[in-house]
Amino acid sequence: MAGRVMKKPEKIRVLIVDDSAFMRKVINDILSEDPLIEVIGRARNGAEAIEAVRTRSPDVVTLDIEMPGKSGIDVLKEIMEIRPVPVVMVSSLTREGANITMQALDIGAVDFVTKPSGTISLDMDRVGDELRKKVLAASRASMHVRGAAPAVPPAYESAVPHRESVKRKFDLMVVAASTGGPMALQQVIPRLSASFPMPVLIVQHMPPGFTTSFAACLNERSKLTVTEGCDGMPVRKGSVIVAPGGYHMIVEKNGPSLVTKLTETPPVRSVRPSADVLFGSVAEVVGGSVLTLILTGMGKDGLDGTRLLRSKGAYVVAESRETSVIFGMPGAVISAGLADEVLPLYEISSALERTAK
């Protein structure tokens, strides 16, 4: 009998957009190191980028934020209008770059990578592995309009019975998110009422500097007060605290109250901040009176911490596959049988309010 011929996996077709010929070449070389990635084009401006998206149908676009003429934001908006495709923004590590990156994630970019040393980064290879991983992850992203309920809600994995513990009082809510998280969080946190009865702690995977802009952006849209965490920050009702990029955030007792503490212990599952680190400290200090939310994201951060919290009686809500950009993090929690409810994004805030009260 003739042996079965194994079909080679299809390559991920990537379009690179950057006004610098040097950066286009560097990004091309970085991506080409992965045998699963094929660079199908390199565009030097917005007009070339739009034309290539129309005619070459890339699976993923890497898009420079800072370009003359039509900016990266303008190009992103047009791509999302003519042919939504996963976009990984390539951003400068500056305050302005962080603010613009938040706009890009809000518009529909899947993720971003920072140039280590400005617009022309001779050391771009420092983030080469990250760029390849994020392009591969973006190729699996679900592109759809976030936050709005469809006319006929899709079937989703919510056939998980409510546990009796939902009827008791919760002292704290913790949230984990990664790829697609900024947009998801902007569909959840601003929809919580000013009377939401417990403080909220968030781990969103981002590098230093970007969590500052993200917290400020979230605060502008929310009835609750959203801030970036720091050492000794009180954890109080009405507050939402975002773990700062580059640090793990944990909670500690300060007399009868809770405060945050930042540490620079090594990354866990390759990330810092880590949801597992935060959740572990919350399980130890607060116990099971915790409402836990797992949103879209690549990887399994939050799985171990959720398991620990759930063993103490915490209530767990996970985002469903239908609205997750990347189903990794919520999928891991659901597969482990740890989710009490599995909901699409547009139902999560009302479910949190209902469960909390």
pLDDT in tens, 314-349: 999 999 999 999 999 999 999 999 999 999 999 999
Interval 178-221: pLDDT, tens: 999 999 999 999 999 999 999 999 999 998 889 999 999 999 99
Residue ranges of the chain assigned to CATH 3.40.50.180: 164-356
Distance CA(235)–CA(224), nearest Å, equals 13
β strands within 144-187, DSSP E: 172-177
CA proximity to 240, closest of 351, 97, 352: 352
CB contact set of 272 (below 8 Å; sequence gap of 6+): 246, 247, 248, 264, 265, 266
Burial class (CB in 10 A: 0-12, 13-18, 19+), 242: buried
Three-state DSSP class for 253? strand
Residue ranges of the chain assigned to CATH 3.40.50.2300: 12-138
Interval 18-38: pLDDT, tens: 999 999 999 999 999 999 999
User: What pLDDT score was predicted for residue 172?
Assistant: 97
User: In the chain, helix, strand, coil percent, each to 5?
Assistant: 35, 20, 40
- Mean pLDDT over each residue of the chain, to the nearest integer: 89
Token digits of residue 331: 């999928």
User: What pLDDT score was predicted for residue 25?
Assistant: 95
User: What pLDDT score was predicted for residue 153?
Assistant: 41
Q: Rounded to two decimals, what is the model's pTM?
A: 0.87
Distance CA(166)–CA(314), nearest Å, equals 9
Interval 142-164: pLDDT, tens: 876 444 444 334 443 444 444 44
Q: Give the CATH number of domain 164-356.
A: 3.40.50.180
User: What pLDDT score was predicted for residue 7?
Assistant: 62
- Which carries the bigger pLDDT value, residue 39 or residue 158? 39
CATH 3.40.50.2300 fits 12-138, yes or no: yes
Residue 263 C-beta-side C-alpha neighbours within 13 Å: 15
CB contact set of 32 (below 8 Å; sequence gap of 6+): 39
Catalytic residue positions, numbered: 178, 205, 301
User: What pLDDT score was predicted for residue 151?
Assistant: 36
Burial class (CB in 10 A: 0-12, 13-18, 19+), 14: buried
For range 98-126, the mean pLDDT: 84
Query: Does the pLDDT at position 282 exceed 90?
Result: yes
User: What pLDDT score was predicted for residue 148?
Assistant: 42
